[in-house]
Structure 1
Amino acid sequence: MENRTMVKNFILVGFTADRKLQIFMFVVLLVIYISIIIGNVVIVTISIVDRGLHVPMYYFIWNFSLLEIGFTTSVIPKVLFNLASGENTISVIGCFVQSFLYFIFGMTEFLLLAAMSFDRYVAICYPLSYSTIMSNGLCSLLVLGSWGLSFALLTGPSIVVFQLPFCNQNVNHFFCDSTPLIKLSCTETPVLDLVNFSIAVFSLLGTLIITVLSYANIISTILNISSASGKQKAFSTCASHLIVVFISYGSCIFMYIKPTHVGGLDISKGVAILNTVVSPLLNLFIFSLRNRQIQEALQKYFSMCNSYRTILRLMRSEK
C-alpha cells in the first residue's frame, strides 16, 4: 500500500517522443475527432427533429451516434492535450474515470448492435408484425437495458482495479486501458483477469452470437424472396449494419479475447487506434451518412435553411 500512495500520476508511454511526429499526429487526430463529433451531432439532431425518422431503426441509430460521441470523447481529448503540450501524464483519478467511461460506452455499443440486429430480424422476417413487436416501449427497454447491463457488469471490476496497489506508473498505452493498468499492480490478479476475460467474452462473443443468429435467419428469409428487387432492398437495409459489426467486433476481439501470447501491447496499441479513431469515423459514413433516408432529411433541411436565408436577404434588401 505504501507503493500505491507513491503513484500520484500515471505516465502514458504509448506514443512516440518525436516532437514533429507528435504534432503531425495531433493535427490528424484533431481533424478526425472534430469530424466524428460534428457528424454524429448532425445524425442525432436530424433523427430527433425529422418526424419521418421516428421509427425504431433510426431511434437505435441516433442512440448509437451518442455512444460514438462518448466513446471517442473518453479517450481522444486527453490524447490531443498530451500531444499538443508534449506531456504524457494523467492523474490516477483521471485514469480510472477514462478507463471506466471507455468500457461503459464500448460495451453499451455492442449490446446496442445486438439490439439493432434483432430489429432488422423482425423487420425482414416478420414485416407484418414489425410495428407491433418493435414498440416504443421495447425499443426504450433495449436501449436502457444496454446501459444498465453495462454498468452492472463493469462497476464492480472497475472498483477492484481502482483499489489495486501499483508499483509502477508507466502505462504502456496512449490511454488507460485495463490490460496495461493491471500489469502495473504489485499483486497477482488471476481472479480479476478471469472476471475481465469473462466480461469480454460475454459482451463481445455473446452479442456477436445474437447478431449472427439474427442474420442467419435474415439471409434465409431473403433467399426465399422471389423478386430480385425485393432481395436487393432487403440486403441494402442490412448491409451497413453488417459492415459496422465486422469493423467493431474485429478490433475488440483481437484486443481483449486473444490469447496473451498472441501479439503484445505494441500490436494492441495499433489496433486500439483503429478501434477508437478509425472505426468511429468509418461507422459515421457507412452506418449513418450513407443512409438514404438520412441523406434525404439532410437535403430537405439544408434546402429549408437556404430558402430561409434567401427570404431574409430579400427582406433586408426591401428595407
Structure 2
Amino acid sequence: MEPHNETQSSQFLLLGISEDSSLQSFLFGLFLSMYLVTVLGNLLIILATVSDSYLHTPMYLFLSNLSFADICFTFTSISKMLVNIQTQSKVITYEGCITQVYFFIVFGVLDNFILAVMAYDHFVAICHPLQYMVIMNLRLCGYLVLGSWITTALNLLQTLTALRLSFCTDLEIPHFVCELNQLVLLACSDTFVHDMVMYFSAVLLGGGPLAGILYSHAKIVSAIHAISSTEGKYKAFSTCASHLSVVSLFYCTLLGVYLSSSVTQNSHSITRASVMYSVVTPMLNPCIYSLRNKDIRGARRRLFRVKP
C-alpha cells in the first residue's frame, strides 16, 4: 500500500487576522471590546423587550430573536480567536473546527431568516395596516420564529459532507474562524459532491430569505410611493428604516466578501473584510435599532428607572 498524506482527523492552524506578534495584544483588546459591546447592546434589547409589556408585539419578538442570534454568531466567530491569542496558540482541533463550521452556518443562516421574517412583518404593517393584528397573530409569529430556528438548526447536510473530506498536511487556515469554504480549499479528496451541496444550500438558505426581503421591500416602496401626504410617507418609511439599514449592512458586507474572494487571492484581505459581517454588523445592530426607535429607548429607560 502506498503511503499518502491525507487525514480524516487532524489539527488545524487558524492564522487569524494578522501574524504580526506585536499586534496580538491590540487585536485581543479590540475584539474583546467589540464582543462585550455586542453582548451588552443585544442583551439590553432582549431585556427591554421581555420586561416591557408595551413591546410584546411581533416586531419586537423578532428583534429579540435577532439580538440573541447576533450574540451567538459573534461568540462563534471570535471566541476561539480570543482564546488562541491569549494562549499564544493557533491550534484548533478537527472536531472543534467542524463544530465551529456548523454553528457559524447555523447562526449566520438564522440571521438571514429572522431578517426575512422582520421584512414580512414590515410589509404587512405598511401594506395591510388594517389587517395587521389579524394576519400577524400570536400563532403565526410563533410558527415563523420556530420555523426559522428549526430550519437552521437542522442544517446538517453541509457539515456532514464536510466530514467526508480528507485533508493534506498543509492545514493552515488563513482566517480567524473555521469557514466551510476554507476547509474545502484545504481538502485533498474530491469536493464535487460537497460543492454541489454547498451551492444548493447557499441558494436555498441564503437566496431564499434574501429574495423574500427584496420582494417585501419592493412592495413597501410601492406602498409608500402611493401615499399622498409627505407626513404619511415619512411615518411609513421610518417604520422600516432601521431594518433596511441592518439588512443593507449585513448583505452588502457578506456579498462583498464572497464576491471579492472569487476575484482575489489575498486571503488576509478577505479575512479582514469578513470581520464586517461577522463582528461589526452584530455590534452595530443594537445601535441602529435604538437610535431610530423611540419605543426601545423608552423601554431601556424604564428598565433602569431613568427619567427622560
Q: State the match for 2:21 in structure 1.
A: 19
Give TM-score scaled by structure 1 length.
0.89
Partner deviation per Cα, 1:83-122 (whole Å, 9 max, x = no partner):
2222111111111111100110000110111111010000
* Residues 189-229 of structure 1: CA deviation (Å, up to 9, x unaligned): 02211221222223333222211111111111112222222
Matched, 1:157 2:158: yes
Structure 1: where are the runs of 5+ without partners? Answer: 307-319
Query: In 2, Cα distance between the equivalents of 1:111 and 1:241?
Result: 13
Who is 1:65 aligned against? 67
Identity of aligned residues (%): 37
Equivalents in 1 of 2:223, 2:17: separation in Å?
48
Counterpart Cα distance in 2 of 1:214 and 1:17: 44
- 1:233 deviation in Å? 1.0
Contact persistence 1:75–1:102 (CA under 8 A): yes
Alignment match of 1:84 (pick from 83, 86, 111): 86
Q: Tell me how far 1:292 sits from its aligned partner.
A: 1.1
**Deviation sequence 1:8-50 (CA, Å, 0-9, x none):** 3110113322222111111111111001001111111110110
Which aligned pairs between 1:173-184 and structure 2 lie closer than 5 A?
173-184=175-186
CA change 1:50–1:85 in 2 (3 A) is same
Report the counterpart of residue 111 of structure 1 in structure 2: 113
Asked if the contact 1:251–1:271 (Cα under 8 Å) also holds between the matched residues in 2, the reply is yes
1:231 to 230, 233, 256: 233
Measure how far apart 1:80 and its partner are: 0.9
CA offsets 1:24-78 (integer angstroms, 9 cap, x no match):
1111111110010011111111101100000000000000000001100112111
Residue matched to 2:197: 195
Measured in 1, the distance between the counterparts of 2:5 and 2:291 equals: 50
Q: What is residue 41 of structure 1 aligned with on the other side?
A: 43
Structure 1 residues 230, 53: closer, same or farther in 2, change over 3 A?
A: same
* Contact map agreement 2:257 2:274 (CA 8 A) in 1: yes
Greater mean deviation of Cα atoms: 8-17 or 273-282: 8-17
Give CA deviations for 1:152-205 in whole Å, capped at 9, x if unaligned.
4x3012012023211132112111011111111121202211221222223333
Matching residue's letter, 1:162: L
Structure 2 CA distance for aligned equivalents of residues 189 and 70 of structure 1: 29
Distance in 2 (alpha carbons) for counterparts of 1:289 and 1:74 = 27
Q: 1:126 to 1:95 in 2, by over 3 A?
A: same
- Is the Cα contact below 8 Å between 2:18 and 2:268 reproduced in 1? no
1:295 paired with 2:297, answer yes
- Letter aligned with residue 77 of structure 2: V
**Distance in 2 between the 1:12 and 1:221 partners?**
48
Distance in 2, matches of 1:14 and 1:194, equals: 28
The CA distance in 2 between the partners of 1:215 and 1:15, in whole Å, is: 35
**Aligned-residue offset at 1:6:** 7.5
Alpha-carbon distance in 2 for matches of 1:288, 1:62 = 12
Q: Classify 1:190/1:163 alpha carbon distance in 2 versus 1 (closer, same or farther; 3 Å).
A: closer
Partner of 1:279: 281
The 5-angstrom pairing of residues 130-141 of structure 1 reads 130-141=132-143
Tell me if the contact between 2:28 and 2:85 (Cα under 8 Å) persists in the aligned partners.
yes
Q: Rate the CA distance shift 1:6–1:118 in 2: closer, same or farther, 3 A.
A: closer
Matched residue SS, 1:215: helix
Contact 1:61 1:288 (8 Å CA) reproduced: no
**Counterpart secondary structure, 1:90:** strand
Quick one: higher RCO (CA 8 Å, sep 6+), 1 or 2? 2
Q: Could you tell which deviates more after superposition, 280-289 or 55-64?
A: 280-289
- Asked if the contact 2:120/2:216 (under 8 Å) is kept, the reply is yes
Report the equivalent of 1:266.
Answer: 268
Equivalence for 1:209: 211
Match of 1:314 in 2: none
Does the Cα contact within 8 Å between 1:121 and 1:215 map onto a contact in 2? yes
Task: Report the secondary structure of 1:17's partner residue.
Answer: coil
Which amino acid in the other structure matches residue 21 of structure 1? L
Report the Cα offset of residue 288 of structure 1.
4.0
Summarize deviations over 1:246-296 as a string: whole Å, max 9, x none: 11111222344x386412333321221111111111112113454210101
Moved more, 285-294 or 22-31: 285-294
